[in-house]
């Protein structure tokens, strides 16, 4: 299966069957435009405009905005309620964490998770092969809080998201603060917007951080 970073917290997930998922499509409020992509399924972690611009996605996708379990076009999806802040949602509301199984690979997209790591949440997410997690802080968990999730969930691959780039307007931290928490040999600079994984790629013995380039059309 393929994973393409579309920018911010948005990814395109492609199964070998051709089924495509797009997570958290955004508008230009972020500081750059969402590329034109087509999808069969769109997931929305919460109703902020840098995560819920479903009209940016081409086709007639099924849009998931509520917690629950879904089986769509052969893709199993579990959406779990969490919080966008560490005050039980009082400050920024709710957030959905989505877990997908595609081509036998377990992928978790944490959305704009803001609550601190806890055993109940970790147990509901694990096991995970590929973890997509915000690291920029301010509106979400920060680098050190994200690292705690990584240490507890123990995914094979971490793909950081929702961090400051040269085009991003948001007052959030840059990626380096998160990468500094890992050994150099555990960081993979792909120099690409896309990575491909197969179930056989994962040994369950180590965690690698994959840094993707943002896709532009």
Rounded Cα distance, 166 and 187, in Å: 21
Looking at residue 50, what is its pLDDT? Answer: 79
Do 143 and 170 meet the contact criterion of CB atoms below 8 Å apart? Answer: no
Residue 217 included in any domain: no
User: DSSP 3-state assignment of 79?
Assistant: strand
Measure the N-to-C terminal CA separation of the chain; round to a whole number of Å: 21
For the chain, percent helix, then strand, then coil, each to nearest 5? 15, 35, 50
Per-residue model confidence as pLDDT tens digits over 28-37: 989 999 999 9
Domain residue limits at 27: 2-211
Residue 111 included in any domain: yes
Looking at residue 51, what is its pLDDT? Answer: 82
Residue 160 included in any domain: yes
CATH code of 73's domain: 3.60.15.10
Per-residue model confidence as pLDDT tens digits over 65-99: 999 999 999 999 999 999 876 777 767 778 999 99
- What integer is the mean pLDDT of 144-152? 97
pTM (2 decimals)? Answer: 0.95
Residue 37 included in any domain: yes
How many structural domains does the chain have?
1
Looking at residue 217, what is its pLDDT? Answer: 56
Do 161 and 209 meet the contact criterion of CB atoms below 8 Å apart? Answer: no
User: DSSP 3-state assignment of 39?
Assistant: coil
Rounded Cα distance, 148 and 111, in Å: 16
Looking at residue 215, what is its pLDDT? Answer: 81
- Give the C-alpha distances (Å, rounded to integers) separating 202 from 55, 172, 189, 199, 206: 35, 31, 18, 6, 9
Residue 77: φ, ψ to 5°: -130, 135
Do 192 and 213 meet the contact criterion of CB atoms below 8 Å apart? Answer: yes
Residue 195 included in any domain: yes
Residue 196 has pLDDT above 90, yes or no: yes
Looking at residue 64, what is its pLDDT? Answer: 98
Looking at residue 100, what is its pLDDT? Answer: 98
Residue 125 has pLDDT above 70, yes or no: yes
Other CB atoms within a 10 A radius of the CB of residue 109 amount to: 27
Which one has a higher pLDDT value, 180 or 52?
180
Residue 216 included in any domain: no
Q: What is the mean pLDDT of the chain?
A: 93
Q: Write out the DSSP string of 41-66.
A: EEE-SSSSTTT--GGGEES--EEE-S
Residue 56 included in any domain: yes
Looking at residue 29, what is its pLDDT? Answer: 87
Rounded Cα distance, 29 and 20, in Å: 25
Looking at residue 58, what is its pLDDT? Answer: 97
Residue 6 included in any domain: yes
pLDDT band at 204 (very low <50, low <70, confident <90, very high): confident
């Amino acid at each position: 299966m393929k994973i393409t970073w579309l920018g911010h917290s948005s990814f395109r997930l492609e199964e070998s069957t051709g089924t495509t998922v797009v997570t958290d499509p955004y508008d230009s409020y972020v500081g750059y435009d969402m590329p034109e992509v087509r999808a069969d399924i769109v997931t929305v972690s919460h109703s902020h405009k840098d995560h819920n611009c479903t009209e940016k996605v081409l086709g007639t996708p099924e849009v998931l905005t509520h917690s629950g379990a879904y089986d769509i076009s052969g893709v199993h999806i579990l959406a779990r309620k969490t919080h966008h802040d560490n005050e039980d949602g009082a400050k920024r509301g709710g957030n959905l964490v989505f877990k997908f199984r595609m081509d036998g690979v377990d992928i978790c997209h944490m959305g704009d998770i803001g609550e601190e790591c806890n055993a109940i949440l970790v147990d509901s997410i694990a096991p995970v092969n590929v973890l997509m997690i915000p690291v920029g802080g301010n509106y979400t968990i920060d680098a050190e809080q994200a690292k705690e999730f990584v240490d507890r969930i123990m995914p094979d691959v971490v793909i950081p998201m929702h961090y400051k780039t040269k085009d991003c307007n948001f007052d959030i931290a840059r990626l380096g603060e998160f990468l500094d928490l890992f050994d150099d040999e555990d960081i993979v600079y792909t120099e690409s917007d896309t990575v491909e994984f197969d179930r056989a790629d994962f040994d369950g013995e180590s965690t690698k951080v994959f840094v993707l380039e943002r896709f532009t059309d």
